[in-house]
Amino acid sequence: TRKLSKIPDEVRGEISGYFVDSPPIVEEDDQKLPKLDERTADYIRHGLTPRWSDLDLNQHVNNVKYIGWILESAPTSILEDHELAAMTLEYRRECKRDSVVQSLTSVLDKDGGGEIECRHLLRLDGGGEIVKGRTGWRRK
């Protein structure tokens, strides 16, 4: 079961120097994430599986691993020549220890001037959606 617990004051005092005082930069993104499948994806990576170090105490894959899997199906040319500028993720379900995952990516050249948008989907081999997402890239 999941239960929130309060951080003891003693621990909070020890780690308070590492807290960031400013909120994260969040822009409202009300664009709907479109459907993505084998027909509309430009790149597909099959057979992704979690490692022991990717799991939390409940045997669910950590959200940070999802970002790594999303980048697994992004084209190398984008990863080499661009930097990640924006990311929107919509979590649909949890991924567990024995899951086998597919990562799908479609690429849209936004303006021909170096800005690229990618749409992503992580799904279980059985078809269930784990994460839908969108990334924005700008030329380095």
Catalytic residue numbers read: 58, 60, 95
Q: Would the CA dihedral through 104, 85, 96, 131 be positive or negative?
A: negative
Is residue 121 within 8 Å of residue 41, measured between CB atoms? yes
Residues contacting residue 70 through CB under 8 Å, at least 6 positions apart: 103, 105, 120, 122, 131, 133, 135
Can you read off the two tokens belonging to residue 14? 């020890």
